[in-house]
Chains A and B, each alone.
Chain A
């Protein structure tokens, strides 16, 4: 024990400071700015209250500084920095620069931490702590079983996710599945009103003349694009994996699209016609397709060729996955194989491909999810949102509208995604029959 005397000042300071800081923190974390429709009185009150809070904040910290002059200079310096931060943020708040509220968010926890550290030494030595410890040890005697304890601990660690799972995923899944059998509309006054209609939504979608071509072109796009991406990324990964200089540069280049591809960029590039290779447009491939194939397959193929480069942009993550897999395969296997007389061709089919086969399934899942969820112009995703926002007044004119139809369409879309994934993964995991000896 360092000092037996109980200092009273830290307790008082903490009793004042902690509630205040907690209050400030909660306020700044949770404050919702009702900027629209705010009255002048509210506005003035808002700024005044903030200003007063900051003033109180300032006074208390000045007090702490005065009271603690004898202590280490480093802590005083930290307090001074804290003061400066608070001062700056008060000024910025008054000037209504919202984005600098980061400092406001960060400052209370930092100051709180500093304060705790400072008081901590005294706190741990105090008699109070011994008292608390004694009470604690009484409770500790009843120990739980190890398994129960571990399960409880684990659940408490994953509890945020569990709450999110139930509230934001499981309940919405069940509810939106229920909505698929209803006709539902949203009204500001009454909320969602739904009337059960049975399978009407499903039948409507199958009959609809705009949705079905969308879904079929989605399927054809997937069937062509997914193998294309897998093969392309495998080729690139194998090229980069060769003993050449500047591997980092190539990785950087081929990963770049992952960083920059967002909805607006992709649709702008598509609109500008920068997404197809010029040589494809100049050659007669498109005409050939249009003249010789049926419309149902020619149109999706044409749009695929026109956006070929963007399709390849989805290969960014797959390339890295394959590259990591290739680098993990043991090089001695290759040496042994080449001693046995296997050429590069055989080595690829007999060693490389089997060793990265599990990765291909991962890549397929990734690519399908990534491509399906990309909100491109005229995709099913955008269509779903449009349908959801449509009002009852358009219903009956043959158009899909409302929450029920939107939910149905998204469930069908999800089902198609699963089918695509399942078919591809099933295809690559077909085992060739072992020849009988």
Chain B
């Protein structure tokens, strides 16, 4: 009898242990167990490797020397770190000055585009405007429409206005709500201002505030997060835009445009034929990395605003 009870106790103990291990590995619901977590982690890490592969490739190749570039045995880790690539690329882009130039140029565009988008978004969200739906549909058309459709006649308009070939040809559309992806910005503000309680407007109106005062004293202060998001995206998108900018401004105000002409400006600075001055891929990649550096810094500083933008703006709510 005693033996049987002891055996039974042992069996239960063993069963408990197995259950415990099972719970750790598989979990209550399968998706909270260790196996599942490891599985997810492996998947995520491998996906992000695939995702970031071009970047890693750039980073690794940009510090390679010429012999490493040719050597098929050297894949990721170069035998010697060639700082000279960066020094040359830094000079070719015209680095310290071009950052300020680029930032100043993009800053103006981003600020104007944010202001206009806020105004228009507020107008659409707060007031009952006739033909509101038609107008908003036209705004969406503006988002889908490729710039080439408009390009031909816009060039003509700018020539008449005398702003073709200056940076005002980018600024004017931003002020008048037709800048790059500005429909998205207007929609972001629209979504936000729509949720704003109208009671506050009414009470302010009774207190004698003018509509413009209501806008910038009551509504706008609460729209801080949306303002930051729109400003950041406008900044990034204007910075990265090369096609329209090159066409309308006919100059190279931004770093990406400088990089587009990297080869030409490199050869102007280091004429081909002089020893040790051939343009190789490593130098080009170093130039590109230097070019994206300002945006990378911006991104890592303001990372939360970028990645949480979509929750905040309510694109996913509709």
Contact = CB atoms under 8 A, between A and B. Distances in A.
B145 interface: yes
A171 B153 contact: yes
Contacts of B129: 150-151, 154-155, 158
Contacts of A176: 149-153
Given A99-B104, A328-B316, A369 B176 contact: no
B35 to A, nearest CB: 13
Contacts of A378: none
Given A168-B176, A310-B54, A272 B307 contact: no
| Chain B interface bracket (under 10, 10 to 19, 20 to 34, 35 or more) | 35 or more
Given A102-B104, A242-B40, A269-B58, 11 more contacts: A32-B163, A98-B101, A100-B100, A157-B127, A239-B40, A239-B44, A256-B52, A261-B240, A265-B292, A321-B315, A362-B318
A410 B51 contact: no
B310 interface: yes
- Most chain-A Cβ atoms within 10 A of its Cβ — which of B138, B148, B176, B247? B148
Nearest to A322: B316
A132 interface: no
A15 B24 CA distance: 79
A172 B153 contact: yes
A110 interface: no
Contacts of A184: 152
Interface string A185-203: 0100001100000000000
23 contacts: A99-B97, A100-B104, A150-B128, A151-B129, A165-B139, A168-B172, A242-B40, A252-B303, A254-B51, A259-B296, A263-B240, A263-B243, A264-B242, A264-B262, A265-B291, A269-B58, A272-B61, A320-B307, A344-B31, A372-B146, A373-B146, A403-B152, A421-B144
Contact of B127 (A153, A239, A253, A254): A153
A260 B52 CA distance: 12
B249 interface: no
B265 interface: no
Q: Lowest 9 CB-CB distances: which A-B pairs, in order?
A: A157-B123, A164-B176, A154-B127, A161-B177, A262-B240, A410-B148, A324-B316, A172-B153, A158-B123
Interface string B1-40: 0000000000000000000000000000111100011001
Nearest to A164: B176
B34 to A, nearest CB: 11
A123 interface: no
A406 B31 CA distance: 55
A406 B152 contact: yes
Contacts of B270: none
B37 A244 contact: yes
A414 B259 contact: no
A385 B244 CA distance: 10
A257 B260 CA distance: 18
Contact of A259 (B32, B104, B242, B299): B299
Contacts of A285: none
A274 B123 contact: no
Contacts of B36: 242
B153 A262 contact: no
A158 B120 contact: yes
B87 interface: no
A263 B55 CA distance: 15
Contacts of B259: 264-265, 268
Contacts of B139: 161, 165
Contacts of A169: 138, 142, 145, 150, 178
A114 interface: no
B168 interface: yes
B156 to A, nearest CB: 6
A306 B152 CA distance: 33
A430 interface: no
Interface in B144-199: 144-157, 159, 163, 166, 168, 172-173, 175-178, 186
